[in-house]
Chains A and B, each alone.
Chain A
Amino acid sequence: MQITVTVNGESHTRDVEPRLLLVHFLRNDLGLTGTHWGCDTSNCGVCTVTLDGVPVKSCTVLAVMADGKRVGTVEGLERADGLDPVQQGFVQCHGLQCGFCTPGMMLTARCLLDKNPDPSEQEIREAISGQICRCTGYENIVRSVRWAAEHEAAEAKA
């Protein structure tokens, strides 16, 4: 069936099978391979994207469910004036190693900061608790998100 999905602000119309998973639509039909997949059971969270602004696990969403909706992926994070503070935070604080969970982590972090610009360490840990990282032990991910929060606050003041 034909669907139209707005991904990172750009509208895409494609003919898809109803069973096509959103993660495959993004990766294979649109070539947006920044969204990864890691399990089949919605446990690892590396496939996290935003659907109408809310983080969801795209391995457990059908592409047809996104028809007429907005999807955000890692490829859409960068701003016209450079990296999003969340992306900068991950670089600054060594919030990634193999990079596989990173896109999903950053999208969740972005959504968290949009709702709560000054999250505590515990709030950050809760927000990312549905996403597994095998490399960082989470410590530097938490610091990365805090870095982004602090820099956004400073940016807003300036």
Chain B
Amino acid sequence: MQVPAAFEYAKATTVSQTLDLLSQWGEDARVIAGGHSLIPMMKLRLARPTALIDINDVSELSYIRVEGGELRIGALTRHAELLDSALVEEHYRIFRDAERVIADPIVRNRGTVGGSLCQADPAEDLSAAFAAVDASVVIHGPRGSRTVPLTEFHVGPYETVVEAGELLTEVRVPIRPGGGSAYVKVERRVGDWAVAAAGAAIWTDADGSVSRVGIGLAAVGAEHFRAAEAEAFLVGKPATQESFAEAGRIAAEASNPVADQRGPVDYKRHLAGELTVRALRAAAARARGQEA
């Protein structure tokens, strides 16, 4: 088996202890929770943190609750908990859709919401799902906390605004009743990273026109995992197949995928459009109270 190089290790039980350890150990220390991205990288010796701060026992970061009109999800929430949460399902069905296709059930028992966002893989499903629902994240650091909209969170592939010494602690999603949301993904096989995926959340006015919409895209090089141009186009348009098709066209055009063994650029761009349409259609059906 591949095994990691040696490192120092400490188990934190509180956020403040985690921050203390981060400042004590410096920028080569890493926080670890599920570890399903970090440990394989360490085994390949592509990641070589000098120290790991284990936050699995920081129970104050493990929660899903409604507060201040927002769904608040602690960073240590496991994928399985997000998947199984009735509270989340009540407000945003996009998360159950997304979580069902993230990795596999056993990895989901271990992997965390915060870890997935901070890993910032360009194919990360949760980044796209959160982008679609206008989420923001709370980051704690030595100088207190700050809230950053998800649309400003990612700096690039595998890079976020979380700085050395900081810890992502919470994800917040504004609760906006009356909408519908959905997530669709194409993968080569169950458990694989997305070839492409799209999430959508949509709200309509009484006349059937789109009052608010969010579209998140994974694995197609969308800036901040979001199809901003397609969203802008849709607002005020009737929530119809024609509008969705045009939104899909716009999303595909704005996407910037790279070729890899999951597919060539033309295919991924096509999927960006096709899946945008499908996600919008499913979200709109749910907004209307129909199953999709």
Contact = CB atoms under 8 A, between A and B. Distances in A.
A contacts B directly (C-beta below 8 A): yes
Interface of A: 1, 17-19, 21, 23-24, 37, 40-43, 45, 48, 54-57, 59-62, 64-65, 67, 108, 126-127, 129-131
Nearest to A64: B9
Nearest to A60: B39
A56 B4 contact: no
Contacts of B9: 1, 18, 62, 64
Contacts of B104: 45, 129-131
B105 A42 contact: no
A108 B106 contact: yes
A44 B1 CA distance: 13
Interface of B: 1-9, 11, 35-36, 39-40, 43-44, 52, 54, 56, 103-107, 109-110, 190-191
Q: Which of B8, B35, B110 has the most CB of A within 10 A?
A: B110
Contact of B103 (A17, A56, A130, A131): A130
B78 to A, nearest CB: 9
A71 to B, nearest CB: 14
Given A56-B110, A60-B110, A129 B190 contact: yes
Q: Which 7 A-B pairs have the closest CB atoms?
A: A130-B104, A18-B9, A130-B106, A40-B2, A19-B4, A60-B39, A54-B109
A45 B109 CA distance: 13
Q: Which of A1, A45, A64, A65 has the most CB of B within 10 A?
A: A65
Contact of A55 (B4, B11, B54, B106): B106
B11 to A, nearest CB: 7
Contact of B106 (A19, A24, A37, A131): A131
Contact of A64 (B2, B6, B11, B44): B11
B1 to A, nearest CB: 6
A70 B7 CA distance: 24
A41 B40 contact: yes
B106 A67 contact: no
